């Protein structure tokens, strides 16, 4: 009884768009009447309202996951054509308006073939009509709008239609991505406050490069976990030389992990190096790439355990078919250290000075010799 009274009060406050105002949009519901936007921090639904009114309902009688909270109710948007009933709720298990969160795991394929547990979180629910008709029968069809958003939790970053004669059902599945919330940045200090500036002549070898992969505006139930980071001489490392800074259960001896899987940022550092095949070039230029996993807080520790994932040799070859790697701007290092160049330059300058002095002395000796010869020649003639 309380629910019915609440619905009646909601109807009294609704805008009550009339069937005549719908014009040509007044029709039976169709599968395409619902649009789903899988955002990085929230999910939005838009349901065409005229078919709902045609069926005998309005936006106040469309209930999201049986939730009567104010934040979970539809708002009528008549500023668009056709008008729609809108829902927006956050990607948070505690207040997602009754949406169901289900995390599934599968063996990685393609670029993720080195990982035995790739997770995807599916967020789903239903918007259902409430028929206030009393009695034995009703002439109003039951409306059901199913939605689903699937978010992969590993980044290197179908629509189904059902119709039943007794009901009008629409199902909309969309894929979302958190890749836009992730960023990779290089710093020159261990407090990660000074972005690294790389001059045209490159940074010196063994200069510490501090790396931070961070999630911004991401729902709080996930942490950032770096599965693998490597450097390549190409920004798109399909067929280029590469060097692994770390892979599952193994890392280069000079790479230092500072934070990984403990918050919405991961940090590590490595000393600048150069690729030997670029030794004939003035500078060595390469790019940093990180395969980044978003793990639920309760499961991050599982992915840190080596016995849960296959260990990969740093000598293995690989192929890149996806473009969801987080990549850095180009890193430029000097092919020779400054300490080797400066003594060489000083030696060249000293050689030039010594040569100038020698030439001067020789010229002076020649002038004296010519003078003495001229004097003796004059005496002999006299």
**Tens digit of pLDDT for each residue in 163-192?**
344 556 676 777 788 888 898 999 999 999
Percent of residues, the chain, with pLDDT higher than 90: 31
Confidence category of residue 125, pLDDT binned at 50, 70, 90: very high
Q: What is the mean pLDDT of residues 195-202?
A: 89
Which two tokens mark 281?
Answer: 């070039």
207 vs 107 pLDDT, higher one? 207
For CATH 2.60.40.4100, the residue range(s) in the chain are 180-334
Q: What is d(CA 89, CA 99) in angstroms, rounded to the nearest whole number?
A: 9
In this predicted structure, what is the pLDDT of residue 315?
Answer: 37
Cβ neighbours around 7 below 10 Å, total: 16
The closest alpha carbon to 229, from 256, 263, 189, belongs to 256
Q: Where are the alpha helices (DSSP H) in the chain?
A: 2-13, 19-22, 49-55, 300-303, 338-381
In this predicted structure, what is the pLDDT of residue 328?
Answer: 74
Average pLDDT, the chain: 79
Bridge-based pairing state of the strands 250-251 and 256-259: unpaired
Residue carrying the six token digits 């809108």: 86
Q: What is d(CA 51, CA 82) in angstroms, rounded to the nearest whole number?
A: 10
108 backbone dihedrals φ, ψ, rounded to 5°: -65, 145
Residue carrying the six token digits 């709080």: 220
128 backbone dihedrals φ, ψ, rounded to 5°: -125, 145
Q: What is the mean pLDDT of residues 106-135?
A: 84
159 vs 190 pLDDT, higher one? 190
CATH topology of domain 180-334: Immunoglobulin-like (2.60.40)
Whether a cis peptide bond, with omega within 30° of 0, leads into 82 is yes
CATH topology of domain 2-176: Immunoglobulin-like (2.60.40)
Q: What is d(CA 366, CA 147) in angstroms, rounded to the nearest whole number?
A: 101
The closest alpha carbon to 231, from 184, 192, 194, belongs to 184
209 vs 337 pLDDT, higher one? 209
Residue 378 pLDDT > 70? no
Q: What is d(CA 344, CA 277) in angstroms, rounded to the nearest whole number?
A: 24
75: β partners:
86
For CATH 2.60.40.3210, the residue range(s) in the chain are 2-176
Query: 115, 227 in Cβ contact below 8 A?
Result: yes
Which two tokens mark 359?
Answer: 């030439």
Residue 9 pLDDT > 70? no
- Which DSSP state fits 188? S
Q: What is d(CA 180, CA 148) in angstroms, rounded to the nearest whole number?
A: 20
Separation in Å, CA 373 to CA 360, 361, 362, 367, 378:
20, 18, 17, 10, 9
The closest alpha carbon to 327, from 156, 180, 110, belongs to 156
In this predicted structure, what is the pLDDT of residue 381?
Answer: 58
In this predicted structure, what is the pLDDT of residue 318?
Answer: 36
Residue 160 pLDDT > 90? no
Bridge-based pairing state of the strands 167-175 and 142-152: parallel
Residue 5 pLDDT > 80? no
For the stretch 307-325, pLDDT in tens is 544 444 333 333 322 334 5
In this predicted structure, what is the pLDDT of residue 372?
Answer: 61
Q: What is d(CA 24, CA 8) in angstroms, rounded to the nearest whole number?
A: 28
In this predicted structure, what is the pLDDT of residue 341?
Answer: 42
């Amino acid at each position: 009884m309380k629910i019915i009274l609440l619905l009646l009060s909601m109807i009294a406050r609704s805008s009550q768009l009339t069937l005549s105002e719908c014009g040509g949009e007044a029709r039976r519901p169709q599968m395409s009447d619902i649009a789903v936007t899988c955002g990085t921090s929230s999910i939005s639904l838009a349901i065409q309202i005229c078919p709902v009114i045609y069926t005998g309902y309005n936006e106040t009688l469309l209930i999201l996951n049986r939730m009567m909270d104010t934040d979970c109710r539809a708002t009528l948007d008549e500023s668009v054509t056709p008008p729609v009933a809108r829902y927006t709720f956050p990607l948070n298990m505690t207040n997602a308006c009754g949406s169901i969160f289900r995390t599934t795991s599968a063996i990685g394929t393609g670029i993720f073939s080195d990982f035995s547990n790739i997770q995807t979180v599916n967020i789903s629910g239903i918007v259902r009509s409430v028929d206030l008709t009393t009695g034995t029968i009703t002439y109003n069809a039951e409306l059901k709008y199913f939605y689903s958003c699937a978010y992969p939790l590993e980044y290197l970053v179908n629509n189904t239609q059902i119709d039943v004669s007794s009901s009008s059902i629409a199902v909309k599945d969309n894929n979302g991505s958190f890749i836009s919330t992730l960023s990779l940045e290089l710093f020159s200090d261990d407090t990660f406050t000074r972005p690294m500036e790389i001059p045209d002549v490159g940074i010196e070898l063994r200069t510490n490069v501090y790396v931070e992969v961070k999630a911004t505006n991401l729902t709080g139930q996930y942490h950032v976990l770096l599965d693998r980071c490597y450097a390549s001489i190409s920004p798109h490392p399909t067929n280029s030389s590469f060097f692994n800074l770390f892979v599952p259960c193994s890392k280069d001896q000079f790479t230092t992990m500072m934070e990984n899987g403990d918050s919405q940022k991961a940090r590590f550092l490595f000393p600048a190096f150069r690729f030997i095949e670029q030794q004939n070039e003035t500078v060595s230029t390469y790019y940093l790439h990180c395969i980044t996993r978003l793990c639920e807080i309760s499961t991050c520790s599982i992915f840190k355990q080596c016995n849960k994932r296959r260990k990969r040799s740093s000598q293995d070859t690989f192929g890149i078919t996806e473009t969801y790697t987080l990549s850095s701007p180009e890193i430029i290092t000097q092919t020779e250290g400054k300490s080797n160049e400066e003594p060489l330059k000083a030696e060249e300058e000293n050689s030039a000075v010594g040569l100038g002095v020698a030439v001067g002395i020789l010229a002076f000796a020649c002038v004296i010799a010519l003078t003495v010869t001229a004097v003796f020649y004059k005496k002999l003639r006299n």
